[in-house]
Chains A and B, each alone.
Chain A
Amino acid sequence: MASVVLSEAEKLYIVHGVQEDLRVDGRGCEDYRCAEVETDVVSNTSGSARVKLVETDILVGIKAEMGTPKLEKPDEGYLEFFVDCSSNSPELEGRGGEELGTDIANTLYRVFSCENSVDLKSLCINPKEHCWVLYVDVLLLECGGNIFDAISIAVKAALFNTRIPKVRVLEDDEGTKEIELSDDPYDCIRLSVDEVPCIVTLSKIGYRHVVDATLQEEACSLASLLISVTSKGAITSMKKVGKGSLDPESIFEMMETGQRVGKSLHIALQKILDEEESLGTSRPKVGFLG
């Protein structure tokens, strides 16, 4: 991950600040930065979203395509994640970006591996033969610290925005099945994102942990905990990153903080998404040129 070099005195200043609950930009340990969320930014996708957390910029596009269901789950559709980090910095081009990309993709698979996150049964068209596959493409435009949180927010927003066309299965006289796509472009099914989890990254700095670390704060933290929390506060997966060690007691504290912060994050995100939805087609689209 792109990281920033800091002098020892700067790191000390940051660590002492976290102990006193006053970070460099005036936030407390549990405050998020100002986030901008915009959906439906890419026109030729089934759903898209862009999330900007001051310096971190993520673009997610979802394409719904027809495919065959997996053998072990014949009556469900599935999600595929692809992450691209090459536009971030020269060191992440080619091989370097691939490692980070697969790391993020694997984390997303783990987060969404919980049965109830996305209603996969609604993605089924014909059991064992046809189903919807949602290809989720994540583009890391700028890395300014805390990319996992931003990516999960963008994926949730994009899933909320996804419109999958309705299909009808017609059976011919000979028994062959034909799939008919509905002609009306507005006739589509939407996914319920109530159970979609969001990742909350808690970085351990000194004796305390912070939410939404900037690049400088990440340079001072030796270990972090990635927790995926649903809107009801249920934890679906947990992952520890970093070369430092975590005390079991601090892990419990971090989990509690993660649940608290995750719930309020979901409420705020749902509010923004509902507001955007209510504006309908008349809302001014900022997109990339605004």
Chain B
Amino acid sequence: RYNGEIGDIVVGRITEVQQKRWKVETNSRLDSVLLLSSINLPGGELRRKSVEDELAMRDYLQEGDLISAEVQSVFSDGAVSLHTRSLKYGKLAQGVLVQVSPSLVKRQKTHFHDLPCGASVILGNNGFIWIYPTPEQKDDEAGGYTANLEPVPLSDREVISRLRNCIMALVTHKMMLFDSSILYCYEASLPHQIKDILKPEVTEEIVLEARQRLLDSEG
């Protein structure tokens, strides 16, 4: 189970829309809370939220939506309060979610990585990992609410599927997840077909190679 700390990046799924706040599932003991006053409005406007905003909450975030957010504070009972008050957080568009144990995600300076293989990954501290196609240009005006609904090209899909299988392989062997380990595992898996990565023999081979490269790069 995930225990929230201030400043952690999490990826969560909206479970409920309540008055002036959303309940977010983050694999912790209690559902996390995202207050209406803690979000960025579409278009990036900064104003006090009015009654109309309260009624229009469902237009911004619905049940089932995925968001990336930062932990603002922790309540006394352990429930976590989130905020998305920066343009890099917000609703997530097309991509793949992988759920792992929170203890396998290494604490780093940044959890948003644009991997050189052609996809981007968000390593949530709560164990939710989001893999998505790298957006071509940084859309600053959108503020993270307009979802790009165009079909993702096949080449990007292959990269994303391969990354997903590599992360599952690392998780089965209880290795820490951070950008280097995922990247080394990805490169070690290139000779194999994407669907073969999850076979036990292939998984072991790939993880062994990735582990060796990590040791070499450290030592």
Over the window 7-39 of chain A, the binary record of Cβ atoms lying under 8 Å from chain B Cβ atoms (1 yes, 0 no) is 111101100110110111111100101100000
Do A9 and B147 touch across chains, with their CB atoms under 8 A apart? yes
Tell me the minimal C-beta distance from A56 to chain B in angstroms: 14
Q: Chain B contacts of A9 at CB under 8 A?
A: 66, 92-95, 147, 149
Do A10 and B162 touch across chains, with their CB atoms under 8 A apart? no
Do B165 and A25 touch across chains, with their CB atoms under 8 A apart? yes
How long is the Cα–Cα vector from A115 to B199 in the complex, in angstroms? 38
**CB nearest to B93 among chain A residues:** A9
Of the candidates A9, A16, A20, A33, the one having the most CB atoms from chain B within 10 angstroms of its own CB is A9
Over the window 147-172 of chain B, the binary record of Cβ atoms lying under 8 Å from chain A Cβ atoms (1 yes, 0 no) is 10101101001100110110010000
How long is the Cα–Cα vector from A239 to B198 in the complex, in angstroms? 31
How long is the Cα–Cα vector from A25 to B169 in the complex, in angstroms? 12
Cβ of A6 within 8 Å of any chain B Cβ, yes or no, is yes
**CB nearest to A19 among chain B residues:** B151
Q: Chain A contacts of B157 at CB under 8 A?
A: 17, 20, 22
How long is the Cα–Cα vector from A17 to B197 in the complex, in angstroms? 18
Do A6 and B195 touch across chains, with their CB atoms under 8 A apart? no
Tell me the minimal C-beta distance from A7 to chain B in angstroms: 5
Tell me the minimal C-beta distance from A28 to chain B in angstroms: 8
Do A26 and B161 touch across chains, with their CB atoms under 8 A apart? yes
Name the interface size band of chain B. Answer: 20 to 34
| Contact partner, B164, options A10, A25, A28, Cβ 8 Å | A25
Do A7 and B13 touch across chains, with their CB atoms under 8 A apart? yes
How many residue-residue contacts, CB under 8 A, span A and B? Answer: 72
Q: Chain B contacts of A23 at CB under 8 A?
A: 161
**CB nearest to A21 among chain B residues:** B154
Contact A5:B162 (CB < 8 A) given known A26-B195, A34-B199: no
Do B64 and A7 touch across chains, with their CB atoms under 8 A apart? yes
Over the window 177-203 of chain B, the binary record of Cβ atoms lying under 8 Å from chain A Cβ atoms (1 yes, 0 no) is 000000000000000011101111000
Cβ of A54 within 8 Å of any chain B Cβ, yes or no, is yes
**CB nearest to A22 among chain B residues:** B157
Cβ of B57 within 8 Å of any chain A Cβ, yes or no, is no
The interface size of chain A toward B, counting residues with CB under 8 Å, comes to 23
Of the candidates A6, A13, A17, A54, the one having the most CB atoms from chain B within 10 angstroms of its own CB is A13
How long is the Cα–Cα vector from A54 to B151 in the complex, in angstroms? 28
Do B151 and A27 touch across chains, with their CB atoms under 8 A apart? no
Cβ of B17 within 8 Å of any chain A Cβ, yes or no, is no
Tell me the minimal C-beta distance from B70 to chain A in angstroms: 20
Of the candidates A10, A20, A22, A33, the one having the most CB atoms from chain B within 10 angstroms of its own CB is A10
Cβ of B176 within 8 Å of any chain A Cβ, yes or no, is no
Please provide the 6 A-B residue pairs with the shortest distance between their CB atoms, ordered closest to farther: A26-B194, A26-B161, A13-B94, A26-B195, A16-B151, A5-B64
Chain B residues proximal to chain A, CB less than 8 Å: 13, 15, 62-66, 92-97, 147, 149, 151-152, 154, 157-158, 161-162, 164-165, 168, 193-195, 197-200
27 A-B pairs with C-beta separation under 8 A = A5-B64, A7-B13, A7-B64, A7-B65, A8-B147, A9-B66, A9-B92, A9-B94, A9-B147, A9-B149, A10-B66, A10-B95, A10-B96, A12-B149, A13-B94, A17-B152, A17-B157, A22-B154, A24-B96, A25-B165, A26-B165, A26-B193, A26-B195, A27-B195, A34-B199, A34-B200, A54-B198
- Beyond A5-B15, A13-B94, A26-B194, 11 additional contacts (C-beta under 8 Å) are A5-B64, A9-B92, A10-B94, A16-B152, A20-B154, A25-B161, A25-B168, A26-B161, A26-B162, A26-B193, A33-B198
